[in-house]
Amino acid sequence: MTTKLYHSIHELTQTSLVKAGISLRSGGVSTTPFTSLNLALHVGDDPAAVLRNQQCFSDSTGIKTLKYCNQIHSDTVINADKIPHSGWLADQQSTSEIIGDALISTQPDVTLGVFTADCVPIFILDIATPVIGIAHAGWRGTYTRIAVKTILEMKTNFGTDTENCIIHLGPSIQKCCYEVSPELLKQFIDRFGKDVHNGQCLCLQSANLCQLVDAGVPHDSISISPNCTACNTDDFYSYRVEGGQTGRMLSFIQLI
Ligand SMILES: [Zn+2]
């Protein structure tokens, strides 16, 4: 049996406008602590192993090139139509020189990606224009509303209307596991309301949902993965559970 290398985001792919998914953990060649389908070069894994993983993933998904950022937990959104392809496959020693945490594009056949291991990958599709966006939202990106800022950039650059957006919050650490300091929790409750916590745990998904609905995205157009990365380290990488030394999943979206 062939190992499944990625999970398709049906909420978006059912529009027939995009290809979208998130890589899973099995089926690669990386060894501990990156076992096994680590797709990121920047985490200290053997570059040759990452290259083989990327090749397998490309064969499985059809992705041949990729645009991604050097992610720094900022709220910076990049118009990917204005940047070159990032390091992927043959160019094994390089990563992206573009600093940011979200990308947008209108170009068919341009694949956008973010790397995560607990942070929320946010997939955005404006079905009318169409435009795609993808964001990396840990607590910093969530608190500074990177999801909404991504849609605003889609609006400024391409005329996106928030009412036409379909959004999916992918597998990420959830309120069952994401314990944070009382101070941080209070900051989130003050900004996004009391639904964002479960005891001492923060719910990044609720905080992102709240800001997107406030920005005018229809509630029914937002879906949330039931998968907590920290609860499912067989399928996903978890930065928190694995003490910061682990691989990354790649979330991707592409207009077709
Ligand atoms: Zn959990």
**DSSP per residue, 2-19:** PPP-EEE-HHHHTTTSEE
Give residue-wise pLDDT tens across range 107-149.
998 999 999 999 999 999 999 999 999 999 999 999 999 999 9
CA–CA separation, 171 and 154 (whole Å): 24
> Which residue type occupies 58?
S
The per-residue pLDDT for 89 is 79
- Helices 146-158/204-214 angle, 10° precision: 40
Handedness of CA 204, 210, 214, 220 (dihedral sign): positive
The per-residue pLDDT for 244 is 94
Q: Please give the distance, rounded to the nearest whole angstrom, from the Cα atom of residue 229 to the centre of ligand 1.
A: 7
Output the pTM of the full model.
Answer: 0.97
Q: Please give the distance, rounded to the nearest whole angstrom, from the Cα atom of residue 233 to the centre of ligand 1.
A: 10
Q: Please give the distance, rounded to the nearest whole angstrom, from the Cα atom of residue 235 to the centre of ligand 1.
A: 13
Residue pair 197/188 in contact (Cβ under 8 Å)? The answer is: yes
The per-residue pLDDT for 184 is 98
Domains, the chain, ordered by start? 6-255 (3.60.140.10)
Neighbours of ion ligand 1 (CB under 5 A): 176-177, 228, 230-231
Q: Please give the distance, rounded to the nearest whole angstrom, from the Cα atom of residue 8 to the centre of ligand 1.
A: 21
Give residue-wise pLDDT tens across range 11-39.
999 999 999 999 999 999 999 999 999 99
Q: Please give the distance, rounded to the nearest whole angstrom, from the Cα atom of residue 111 to the centre of ligand 1.
A: 29
Q: Please give the distance, rounded to the nearest whole angstrom, from the Cα atom of residue 240 to the centre of ligand 1.
A: 11
Give residue-wise pLDDT tens across range 48-104.
999 999 999 999 999 988 999 999 999 999 999 999 888 787 665 567 789 999 999
